[in-house]
Structure 1
Amino acid sequence: MRKGVNSECEELERQLKEKHGQEIAALNGDIVPDIDDVPELEESTLGTPEENSVNDVTETLGKTTISESVPAEDGQPKKRNRQKDRLARRAAEQEAAIEAAEIEAANQPDPKAIEHAKLQQEFKTHSLVEKLIRPDGHCLFSAVADQLQQAGIPLGADSDTELKEGERYKVVRKAAARYIEGHPDDFAAFLDEPLTAYVEKIRDTAEWGGHLELLALAKTYNVEIHVLQNGGAQTIEPGEGEGNRTEKIWLAFYRHGFGLGEHYNSLRKAP
């Protein structure tokens, strides 16, 4: 009986070696014919504890797989590329994270679409149409210049009758800077830098304008500036003592609608 079991073990070991050889050849790119799976021992050949022990060893050998190091053509162990595995795993994790972020973003409200819908509703309520202004850092001053032109209000002593539409913002910039410079007590407390430096930026660069510049322009041109935006309209009044006639001008303010960030457009009366 022992001899028969030993013969079975030898046959299984031989087939296992052939199987390992086939797997190694496959890893090296060689094409080899398939071999049959290792057969199980018949129950008639097993019986005693000693024989069962031999069978257990045989089953363990049959379940054994090739280790991480296998012989290569030069006889040296061929190791798995752990760095390549890590990079592949990291790429898979990043792809999964991107997919999850895209799903989450798709389920979030679109602030650009919400803002656009709200402003369109406001335009319709006030019978206004939008005049697009180039988003170049001068948009507030260009929009105010367009509104002043529509209202028939001269831009100022610096204006030129031949001044091109795309250059009118320069006159409005200078007017805002001049007013801020001439009324330091009204503006200095709101600045994070010396007033002189701030005035130079507003006058000579593409520094974005905001509420301070709208206030200066409202007082300079004696106009009531209405700014339509998502979240409620804003009105900047010129104050008392600026003259008898107060013209209204209209601007649209965007926080999300333009790639560069905050933006102003001019609003004209609907035909």
Structure 2
Amino acid sequence: MSEQQDHASKSSSSSISSSTQESEEDVTVGTLLTEPKNSGRSLGKRLSHLDSIPHTPRVNGQIPDVNNATIDHETLLERLGTYGLAEFQIEGDGNCQFRALADQIFRNPDYHKHVRKSVVKQLKEFKKNYEGYVPMEYKEYLKKMKRSGEWGDHVTLQAAADRFAAKICLLTSFRDTCLIEIVPRGAAPTRELWLSFWSEVHYNSLYATEDLPNRKTKKKHWLF
């Protein structure tokens, strides 16, 4: 076998192996998704007296400076303490929204690539539901959202709610309200996902203080 043929054979084998691995991972993720996670509903009971505001999908706006962001996070931490909630810290590498969602769905933020892949698939397959909220060429938006490290926005949150049949509850640092609920369109939610969201820059995964996981994460958080 020539060197060129040998290289082609190895390349083909590598491609098949990669494809097989992705297929196996998709099966694993699919299995996990069929297992309902209802722990979030207990959090909902703690905040049932709060009014939520309607969610409007939108792309990311202006990012605040570090000082304002720090103040906003302090405000959020006070709110969390009031309701007996705590943040599971998510790595701030640009994938925090998808990592936080993965932690809520799979109890493992490392599944963020699969969450992003599913969200982009939702955006692509149901373009008419989302393109009106995107102030740019939609193909470019999809191309951007495929990239690891690209920040998620409120459009991807809506797509995630729709894709995973989930009510996504955001406890925020916003002054006018602290609760935003994103519900799936045209279907009753089968699970609740709880995230903290502060200063338009970072998402963490929320738990009751007594249920906060002690698993280790990479020590790379926004502002830290």
The answer to whether TM tops 0.5 is yes
Decide whether aligned partners of structure 1 residues 185 and 112 sit closer, same or farther in structure 2, where only a CA change above 3 A counts: closer
Counterpart of 1:203 in structure 2: which amino acid?
K
Flag structure 1 segments of 5+ consecutive residues without an equivalent.
Answer: 1-109, 151-164, 256-260
Please say if 1:216 is aligned against 2:162.
Answer: no
Q: Distance in 1 between matches of 2:201 and 2:180?
A: 15
CA distance in 2, matches of 1:191, 1:116: 28
Question: Matched residue of 2:207: which SS?
Answer: strand
- Could you tell me how far apart the structure 1 residues matched to 2:125 and 2:116 are? 14
Task: Give the Cα–Cα distance (whole angstroms) in 1 for the partners of residues 148 and 171 of structure 2.
Answer: 26
Q: TM-score, normalised by structure 1?
A: 0.48
Which of 102, 125, 134 is the matching residue for 1:191? 134
| 2:196 aligned with 1:252 | yes
Q: How does 1:47-126 map to 2 (within 5 A)?
A: 111-126=68-83
Where does residue 207 of structure 1 map in the other structure? 150
**Alpha-carbon separation, structure 2, partners of 1:125 and 1:221:** 29
Q: 1:181·1:195 contact (CA, 8 Å) conserved in 2?
A: no
1:155-212 per-residue CA deviation (whole Å, 9 max, x = no partner) reads xxxxxxxxxx564110000011000101111111222322222112212332110100
Q: Tell me which amino acid in the other structure corresponds to 1:270.
A: T
Secondary structure in structure 2 of the residue aligned to 1:168: helix
| 2:85 is the alignment partner of 1:142 | no
3-state SS of 2:203 partner:
strand
Aligned to 1:269: 208
Cα distance in 2 for residues equivalent to 1:112 and 1:140: 17
Cα drift, residue 227 of structure 1: 0.9
Larger Rg: 1
- Given that 2:100 and 2:109 are in contact with CA atoms closer than 8 Å, whether structure 1 keeps it comes out as no
Indicate the RMSD between aligned Cα atoms, in angstroms: 2.0
**Maintained 8 Å contact 2:96/2:203:** yes
Percent identity reads 29
Separation in structure 2 between the aligned mates of residue 204 and residue 118 of structure 1, nearest angstrom: 32
The number of residues matched between the two structures is 141
The amino acid across from 2:202 in the alignment is H
Query: Counterparts of 1:228 and 1:114 in 2: how far apart (Å)?
Result: 16
Distance 1:209 1:228 in 2: 16
Match of 2:181 in 1: 235
- Listed as ranges, the gaps of 5+ residues in structure 2 are 1-66, 211-224
The aligned runs of 1:164-179 (5 Å cut-off) are 165=108, 167-179=110-122
Query: In the alignment, is the contact (CA less than 8 A) between 2:196 and 2:205 conserved in 1?
Result: yes
Seen in structure 2, the aligned counterparts of structure 1 residues 191 and 128 have a Cα distance that, compared at 3 Å, is same
The aligned amino acid for 1:252 is S
| Post-superposition offset of 1:216 | 0.4
| Distance of 2:68 and 2:109 partners within structure 1 | 30
Q: Secondary structure at the match of 1:185?
A: helix
What's the secondary structure of 2:101's corresponding residue? Answer: helix
Cα distance in 2 for partners of 1:129, 1:140 equals: 17
